[in-house]
Structure 1
């Protein structure tokens, strides 16, 4: 094999681009519910054999997250047993099956267009299958990028995965907006007995068909991603872990050049000579920090905003909520780029701390807007500040740290545990948001729920900033092998 002296950035960027498509699918799959959930709710409110309550709707809207928990928990096994590449192919297959099944959950078993409890179960199963794909991709895509990227640009390249997640959400906001077209979301009212019903004047197409197209649109992206993953190489660090040193050197040389590749491979081999599969081989603290990064990324409440954005903007009574959702998507994209271009200059910790403070200000702004009378622009801007602050901090930087903070020999298992906790708390936040947001108290009515939800998220943002300042190590400029040595020293004390 003739190795080139200089690596190819074109080769590196091309394989990273394929990996970040997994992030795009991650964002697409998790945010598609934002445009579809009202039509879906109206559809199942027509069921005759059960009552479709707030709680059931919250679980149905968040059911994909159950699959995310399962997929992320299994990602360590998949990544270690089958490799990073094959695991991403499996994830793509799950995405594709879920998209088609969510589009047509009646397939072979049920009468088309007839809502009942069995069809609800089938729909949720398809969403859970997609969630397994998201869980696998969410853990393995950043892991794969971190393992192929040179240390001086690793943070930037892993941040592009978060950019792809947010871009996927923006794409699906646009797709949902275009699918809806001249049609309107159903009008859903609540009786004095807290029973929901759909007004007869609601658009029947949105109730019966629109939400199907929204879910089904993901199949095209899933198919492209799955095909392209076949063309990328396996992660060189995984190859070294399983003893395929010559292939690992070949991939590293194409990225870094042969001289640098030999140095990197020697560093990798020095950290895996004593291979241990025990999760706590490097102490409890490294696992605790990784898990809490994941917990805080979700506990700050961001996905409640992303999943229910049109509903939230609708409650603020300021213009078209779908248009405002698209605007929020554009803001999110813009501020994710802030992280992409500053993460190697400013470091991971400063971005997380300042982002936490910005999120707290935005969340408290929404909470206060429900206590006193303010112009509608105030809560809308507060939501934008909250979301934008997340996008340059916890959104991308959490994934960067999870991908690079763990030692080589436990990375697969440790990332799986951390990301599983992320999806567990994503599910908790997302499934509890609607009931909490709709809580009523005395004369405040549902404004109490609006205030309470965002005040709670604001407090958690403050706690997150303190956690980062006290416990999270800075990883800027360090190789993955440096992190192995850092935690080895800490565990030896």
Structure 2
């Protein structure tokens, strides 16, 4: 092993003093010999899963308008059926989150990813071959199930493969590929009917299954199973031929031995387990309570009021904003840090949802004033249209700021932090709890949204979201540790209150 001599060489070149612990210098010496080409390849293969997940989420938007007008009465959706066609995915995804938590611990990260491509393909095949509405529902549940497994497994797979210098950037690619998939299906929906769109949507999961055949299992899972030789081979594949992988392997192995082999419910008393679990669950609650679903719900109406008559094109524009700023977040994640981006994101969303509340408040005032003047003066209804057009810029600006803020922080980072903070032995259980929380909150917020609007008014609902965004910022500042540049073992040690390995 050449770590010590390489460390001395780096210190001499930098004119630095010997580090008393030697840890940071050893890490630097090791990472200086790492080649990332095959790590990027393995990441690309795995993020075809989140792209498939994005296709599933986006599929209902172009498909529902066609299916509500289709000539075949067996497939035609009424309003209630269309609502279920869009939302039943969350039910499948919640189950998929639980299934994924069991699978990653029993059969590993790689096989879980390969298997979850099957319900993606089968689900879209059922939709393509659908003869009635129930077959459409079944297809959506199957693709939702696969999406739930994917949203859990892929962040874990990437975080356990990647080293600390690039883990934030590669982890952010999960959300980037989700929004790329959503935008891709919106674009394809401009040119293809719902059956051809389903055929296109089955391509990414098929590619993922093929590509993952040639990728390794994660070294941390292999070591947790006592497979030292296979773990070294996986590290050699991921780090390149020049890196002395025995050093990293020994470091991970020590951490695995310290934790013990399997998870017991009594482990929840350990601060190294319950602290990150609470943080992971709260991140998922706050992500869904920011109002992202409400903003997307209103997007079409807002564009129409701003005279964007083509709502399909408007959806593509929203998707493009998400893609651009999620890519920006990925590029700066390992430089700016997770905590700073979460705070910036929370502040931006608090400002934009407050502005949305002002917009709806002013609109309601204008509407009541216009109605009164129409009643008293019997003037033309066109007299009340100009104020709406004048205020459209406020809604458009608020939406742009909100989507930008969400894409920079609260979109990608909860998934990234979830994949970083849990000890190996509880990673399956804790990640399943987080994924179930996320999809459960998505379902609750979506289903209660109309009731909130009736109870609090549109303005009050968005001001409630603004309050939640402010609480997000306070929570981030008080409780979320910065994980930038730390190994997974160092992050675990932070929660245990010990020094990192």
Q: CA deviation at 1:146?
A: 0.6
Q: Residues 354-365 of structure 1: matches in 2 within 5 Å?
A: 354-365=344-355
Q: Does 1:278 align with 2:264?
A: yes
**222, 244, 248: which one aligns with 2:205:** 222
Q: Residues 355-434 of structure 1: matches in 2 within 5 Å?
A: 355-372=345-362, 373=387, 374-433=390-449
Q: Does 1:163 align with 2:146?
A: no
Q: Does 1:16 align with 2:47?
A: no
**110, 120, 145: which one aligns with 1:85:** 110
SS of match in other structure, 1:467: helix
Q: CA deviation at 1:474?
A: 1.0
Q: Distance in 2 between matches of 1:489 and 1:409?
A: 18
SS of match in other structure, 2:61: helix
| 1:123–1:21 CA distance, 2 compared to 1 (3 A) | same
Q: Distance in 2 between matches of 1:103 and 1:331?
A: 30
CA RMSD in angstroms, aligned pairs only? 2.8
Q: CA deviation at 1:249?
A: 0.6
Q: TM-score, normalised by structure 1?
A: 0.82
Q: Does 1:244 align with 2:227?
A: yes
Q: CA deviation at 1:345?
A: 1.3
| 1:451–1:421 CA distance, 2 compared to 1 (3 A) | same
**248, 251, 258: which one aligns with 1:264:** 248
Residues 273 and 426 in structure 2, CA contact (< 8 A), matched pair in contact too: no
Q: Does 1:462 align with 2:494?
A: no
SS of match in other structure, 1:178: coil
Partner residue in 1 for 2:53:
26
| 1:312–1:425 CA distance, 2 compared to 1 (3 A) | farther
Q: Based on CA coordinates, which of the two structures has the bigger radius of gyration?
A: 2
Q: CA deviation at 1:392?
A: 0.6
Q: Does 1:101 align with 2:114?
A: no
**15, 25, 37: which one aligns with 2:64:** 37
Q: Distance in 2 between matches of 1:241 and 1:475?
A: 22
Partner residue in 2 for 1:150:
163
Q: Tell me the alpha carbon deviations over residues 16-64 of structure 1, each in whole angstroms, 9 at most, x when there is no partner.
A: 1111111111112112222223334456997899x9455x543331111
Residues 236 and 252 in structure 1, CA contact (< 8 A), matched pair in contact too: yes
Q: Tell me the alpha carbon deviations over residues 59-109 of structure 1, each in whole angstroms, 9 at most, x when there is no partner.
A: 331111111101111211101111111111111111111112223322xxx
Partner residue in 2 for 1:182:
none
Structure 2: runs of 5+ lacking an equivalent = 1-29, 363-386
SS of match in other structure, 2:261: coil
Q: Does 1:477 align with 2:497?
A: no
Partner residue in 2 for 1:190:
none
Which has the larger share of helix? 2
| 1:103–1:87 CA distance, 2 compared to 1 (3 A) | same
| 1:342–1:63 CA distance, 2 compared to 1 (3 A) | same
Residues 302 and 395 in structure 2, CA contact (< 8 A), matched pair in contact too: no
Q: Does 1:324 align with 2:314?
A: yes
Partner residue in 2 for 1:129:
142
Q: CA deviation at 1:276?
A: 3.6
Q: Distance in 2 between matches of 1:369 and 1:398?
A: 29
Partner residue in 1 for 2:286:
296
Q: Distance in 2 between matches of 1:368 and 1:47?
A: 45
**Runs of 4+ residues over 6 Å off in structure 1:** 44-49
Q: Distance in 2 between matches of 1:427 and 1:436?
A: 14
Name whichever of 155-164 and 315-324 sits farther off. 315-324
Q: Tell me the alpha carbon deviations over residues 281-339 of structure 1, each in whole angstroms, 9 at most, x when there is no partner.
A: 43422211111111111221324444774465346653322212111111111111221
Q: Distance in 1 between matches of 2:64 and 2:302?
A: 13
